[in-house]
């Protein structure tokens, strides 16, 4: 079984398991989506949602966060990991959005990735979930699963993104990225499946006997 054959099997299982999928991070607009994705680094989506549900009621525009200032932003997000670094990024990216983009979130990868605290993965999520542009955000969890499922050789997240984009049709990328995240959390857990027990692993590798070792991102 080659990569393309495994990709087709995986797509069928994921579509059957998650025919309808929702974005796990709550947001009010594209700007708050950007902020939530930035906050989610080294933090669970549940924690981010719990913290932001009271913030976004009052503060949901770059102008709001510029007016708040770094210290007040820190106090608002202090339950989030590395909150001081994230507060600094939020404050300065908000200033840039107000000054350079008239308070709007830019719609290109290059412009997004130039914002403080915004890497390629964060930009990909905003482009796909915020603007509907075909993108395939790769985090450490998808990187791990792609290796378990034989979709990539696992050198790094850049290589994994390239390999997955080659194997799956562009029209499926935005939905597929979310389906993989949900499936990994529910069925193919890092310290549970080990590439041996979930339906995708057993279907793609029915003769696998030993836990699969994955290369970290």
Is 121 annotated in the active site? yes
Instruction: Please give the Cα distance from 78 to 118 (Å, whole number).
Output: 19
Residue 50 token pair = 């719990």
Question: How far apart are alpha carbons 76 and 36 in whole angstroms?
Answer: 13
Which member of 8, 104, 107, 139 is catalytic?
139
Q: For residue 83, what are the contacts with CB-CB under 8 A and spacing of at least 6?
A: 74, 77
Instruction: Using alpha carbons, list the distances in angstroms from residue 142 to 121, 132, 137, 164, 178.
Output: 11, 20, 9, 10, 10
53, 71, 79, 121: the catalytic one is 121
Catalytic residue list contains 139: yes
Mapping DSSP to helix (H, G, I), strand (E, B) and coil, where does residue 193 land?
A: coil
- Active-site residues: which are they? 121, 139
């Amino acid at each position: 079984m080659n990569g393309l054959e495994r990709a087709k099997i995986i797509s069928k299982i994921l579509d059957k398991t998650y025919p309808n999928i929702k974005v796990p991070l709550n947001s009010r607009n594209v700007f708050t989506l950007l902020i939530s994705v930035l906050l989610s680094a080294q933090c669970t989506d549940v924690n981010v949602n719990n913290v932001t549900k009271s913030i976004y009621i009052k503060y949901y525009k770059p102008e709001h966060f510029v007016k708040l200032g770094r210290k007040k932003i820190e106090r608002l997000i202090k339950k989030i990991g590395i909150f001081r670094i994230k507060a600094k990024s939020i404050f300065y990216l908000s200033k840039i959005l107000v000054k350079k983009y008239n308070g709007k979130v830019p719609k290109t990868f290059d412009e997004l990735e130039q914002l403080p605290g915004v890497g390629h993965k964060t930009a990909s999520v905003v482009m796909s979930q915020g603007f509907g542009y075909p993108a395939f955000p790769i985090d450490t969890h998808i990187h791990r699963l792609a290796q378990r499922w034989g979709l990539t050789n696992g050198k790094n997240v850049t290589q994994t993104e390239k390999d997955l984009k080659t194997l799956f049709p562009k029209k499926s990328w935005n939905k597929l990225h979310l389906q993989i995240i949900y499936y990994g959390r529910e069925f193919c857990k890092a310290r549970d499946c080990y590439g041996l027990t979930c339906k995708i692993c057993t279907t793609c590798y029915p003769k696998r006997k030993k836990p699969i070792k994955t290369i970290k991102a």
